Amino acid sequence: MADTAVTDLATDRRESILAATVRCIARQGYDAVRLRDVSKEAGVSVGLLQHYFESRDELVDQAITFGNDKLISRWDDAFADRTARDRIVASIGKVALRPELREVSVLWVEFARAAMRHDHLRDRYRAVYDAWHRHFLDILTAGIADGSFRPALDPNDAVRALLAYFDGYELEVATGVVEADVGAFEERTVNVALALFGATR
């Protein structure tokens, strides 16, 4: 029991540090974040950061995919028994209906920018993109099988178009071109997804 409590505390502390690092990256950019910035944001010592992460690069690299990994695991756990249409709506809701939408949007744009300059991040960026693509393609494929979706496009192209819409909207939010309105983001993205996927009902 005591070992479990210690493990849970360590996991919580590690996730708290990663969340603080995400905020620093969103505010300062991938290349500008230093351990002392994260230490101050997380309210912990630099020594504690080094206990959990071997280097500054390991910390920021893990932070940049931290939120996405949690999101995908929540998708997989929560939506498996729903209809294809409900899974699309619920998946988009998990992305859009977050109070930290602007922070997440800035982080995604910063991730893409950093991936252009750092080869190891390019592989991580591709892995994240592929995970999103698989998730939405699985839903679209199930919807085609049960007759709820009839896309005019090839299924892979329909998913790519949806992900391009996500990227474009998050770029607009990150740059302040549009307001970070979570309700509007959800509604518009659901409408785009249902149109691209050829929802029949």
* Angle between helical axes of 35-42 and 56-78 (0-180°, round to 10): 50
Mean pLDDT of 52-60: 92
Quote the pLDDT of residue 188: 94
Give the pLDDT band of residue 4 (cuts 50, 70, 90): low
Contacts of 78 (CB under 8 A, 6+ apart): 90, 94
CA dihedral 61, 67, 164, 161 (to 10 degrees): 120
Q: What is the pLDDT of residue 155?
A: 98
Which position has the token pair 């988009």?
92
- pLDDT at res. 12: 86
User: What pLDDT score does 37 carry?
Assistant: 96
pLDDT at 78: 59
| Dist CA 181 CA 143 (whole Å) | 29
Report the candidate in 196, 166, 197 with the shortest Cα–Cα distance to residue 84. 197
Percentage of residues in the chain with pLDDT exceeding 90?
A: 52
Q: pLDDT band at 49, cuts 50/70/90?
A: very high
More confident call, 131 vs 5: 131
Per residue in 92-147, pLDDT tens?
A: 988 887 777 888 888 889 889 889 988 988 998 998 899 999 999 999 999 999 99
Residues 90-99 pLDDT 10s: 889 888 877 7
pLDDT tops 80 at residue 28: yes
Q: Please give the Cα distance from 120 to 85 (Å, whole number).
A: 36
Residue 128 CA to residue 108 CA, distance in Å, equals 10
Mind listing the domains of the chain with CATH numbers? 1-63 (1.10.10.60), 79-201 (1.10.357.10)
Confidence of residue 10 (pLDDT cuts 50, 70, 90): confident
Between CA 113 and CA 132 the distance in angstroms is 19
By residue count, the chain amounts to 201
**DSSP H helix total and E strand total for the chain:** 9, 0
Q: Which residue has the tokens 């920018």?
A: 113
Q: Is the pLDDT confidence value at 2 over 60?
A: no
On average, the pLDDT of the chain sits at 88
Long-range contacts of 56-60 (CB under 8 A, 24+ apart): 59/17, 59/18, 59/21, 59/35, 60/21, 60/25, 60/30, 60/33
Cα 146 from Cα 149, distance rounded (Å) = 8
CB-based contacts of 177: which residues, under 8 Å, 6+ apart? 171
Return the beta strands (E) in the chain as ranges. none
Kindly give the interhelix angle for 119-146 and 56-78, rounded to the nearest 10 degrees.
Answer: 0
pLDDT in tens, 146-201: 999 999 999 999 999 999 999 999 899 989 898 888 889 999 999 999 999 999 87
CA dihedral 126, 73, 167, 107 (to 10 degrees): -90
Higher pLDDT, 35 or 5: 35
